[in-house]
Amino acid sequence: MPRGLAFQARARFPLTHMPSGKVHDKITVATAALAAPAVWLLTPSHDPLTSCAAVAGYVFGGLWMSDDLDTHSVAYKRWGALRILWWPYKKLVPHRSWISHGLGVGPLLRVAYFTLALYVAAHALLGIINTWIIPLNRDDVLRQAAIWLLAVLSRHQSLAAWALGGLIAAGIAHGALDRAVSTAKKLW
């Protein structure tokens, strides 16, 4: 490429700004729409509900459970007031480390972290309710909630597995894109 054109290409698509949160968002939505028919073909008996669970898991994984929750990103801000749940993650996990961006392991660790964060938040909230509003046994409430959640998950194992698969795929797509852009930057 002539020097002038190369400069123009770099100026229009500055690699240091890519892939931004918005680029990741657009790619997530576009790839979800493109992959939906293939997912439908892959699901057992071509079940539309299972396909929707997989695509919803992918979109949720890309837009909300993004690898970039390890920084003050579009995905982090998208949680609104609930971003407080991700604040320790953002503070503790180094940006683009294997903990957040590891292919496969990143999304699984985020699911584990989020489950723990929800538990801690529910524990604190029930403590406040117990102290200020109505007496209750919060350990009992949390145990019942866990039993109910496990029962729902075991009743809908296939849907849950496909949704989790979609969520993991979104994390892999994000990590792969970041790696591709980093490699392109080195080669450029």
- Contact positions vs Zn ion (CB under 5 A): 67-68, 178
E strand segments, 21-138 = none
Neighbours of 2 (CB within 10 A): 7
Among 161, 83, 85, 154, residue whose Cα is nearest residue 116? 85
Nearer to Zn ion, 19 or 165 (CB): 19
Closest CB 96 distance from Zn ion, rounded Å: 6
Cβ contacts of 19 within 8 Å, gap of 6 or more:
27, 177, 178, 181
Closest CB 174 distance from Zn ion, rounded Å: 6
Nearer to Zn ion, 8 or 20 (CB): 20
Closest CB 89 distance from Zn ion, rounded Å: 14
Nearer to Zn ion, 166 or 175 (CB): 175
Give me the helix-helix angle, 48-63 and 157-187, nearest 10°.
Answer: 40
Closest CB 177 distance from Zn ion, rounded Å: 8
